[in-house]
Amino acid sequence: MLFKSKVLITLMLILFLQFFASAQKYRGGLFDIGLAIGAANYSGDLSQKNINIPFTRPMIGIYGRKSLSPYFQWRIQASYAQLAADDAKSKNYKQRNINFKTDLIELNSTIEFNFLKYGINSSSKELDFTSYVFLGLGAFYFNPKAVYNDQEISLRDLRTENKSYARVQPAIPYGIGIKFSKTRRFELGFEIGMRKLMTDYLDDVSGNYPNYNQLEADRGLASARASHPQVYNGNLPANPGQNRGDNHLTDYYMFTNITLSFRFVKRDACPY
């Protein structure tokens, strides 16, 4: 999986560089760069609802976009976000006492489909707003950590469920949005994007509790405690094989953001 993720990242970087290098070959109005600012949310084994409002965290992204036609646009975006959750805020899982947080870096390539014939140049006969959907391919870097006794712990290397996973994972971004372009050079938008993941360890939780004593013998006390963090509150370790998470539900995250882009348009922009 790690090899596949590295290949995926390499291919996307090549596409990203090729995208910007070729942008100047197209006539004015076909290329824009933008900024996405908003909120990131996580859903998984530590969230009790699809949108975990108390743990909403910031996200920011930069993107480049090329118009392929009035209906299709190709976009490449790099984003940074934070994700977090904590059983201490849960009504049902306080005793489990698991928490996590992670910085997340994402690179994706998507195709946007405009439902209306969207204007590229101010002299065109197309509309200056449209709703749209998008779908693509991406990859993200994450490194889940927890805090116990005011000490930050990196969870992946402790193998809390006797499982290993790569810090770089593929993702499938998809979502909906709306955009407005009342001027030739600026565009304002709003979008909601989901990420379908191929891992259930975004939060370092997925399956069952391993044997506490065996984990301590194999990987040390820190690993055993991070796997059974209820012991930090004076409780006994869970029984081996007891559910620690739910591997039937894959983790995912979402971005809700406002977009603002600047379009490169020649003074003598060519109408259709």
Q: What is the mean pLDDT of residues 165-184?
A: 92
Q: CA 179 to CA 126: how far, in whole Å?
A: 14
204, 165 contact by CB (below 8 A): no
247, 201 contact by CB (below 8 A): no
Give the range among 51-60, 209-218, 261-270 with minimum mean pLDDT. Answer: 261-270
| Domains of the chain with CATH codes | 2-263 (2.40.160.20)
Residue 48: the pLDDT is 66
In the chain, the DSSP E strands lie at 31-43, 57-67, 72-86, 99-114, 129-142, 145-148, 151-154, 168-180, 186-197, 252-264
Q: What is the mean pLDDT of residues 86-94?
A: 87
Residue 159 has pLDDT above 90, yes or no: yes
Residue 123: the pLDDT is 52
Residue 1 has pLDDT above 70, yes or no: no
Residue 25: the pLDDT is 41
Residue 11 has pLDDT above 50, yes or no: yes
Q: CA 21 to CA 195: how far, in whole Å?
A: 28
How many Cβ atoms sit within 10 Å of the Cβ of residue 232?
Answer: 12
Residue 55 has pLDDT above 80, yes or no: yes
Residue 121 has pLDDT above 60, yes or no: no
Residue 168 has pLDDT above 70, yes or no: yes
Tokens 């449209």, residue? 130
Residue 91 has pLDDT above 60, yes or no: yes
Q: Which of 260, 272, 259, 261 is nearest to 119 (CA)?
A: 272
Write out the DSSP string of 100-167. EEEEEEEEEEEEEEESS-B-SSTTSSSBSEEEEEEEEEEEEEE--EEEETTEEEE-GGGTTTS----S
**Which amino acid makes up residue 113?**
F
Q: Which of 58, 30, 53 is nearest to 43 (CA)?
A: 53
Residue 22: the pLDDT is 44
Band of pLDDT at residue 246, cut at 50, 70 and 90: confident
Mean pLDDT of the chain: 86
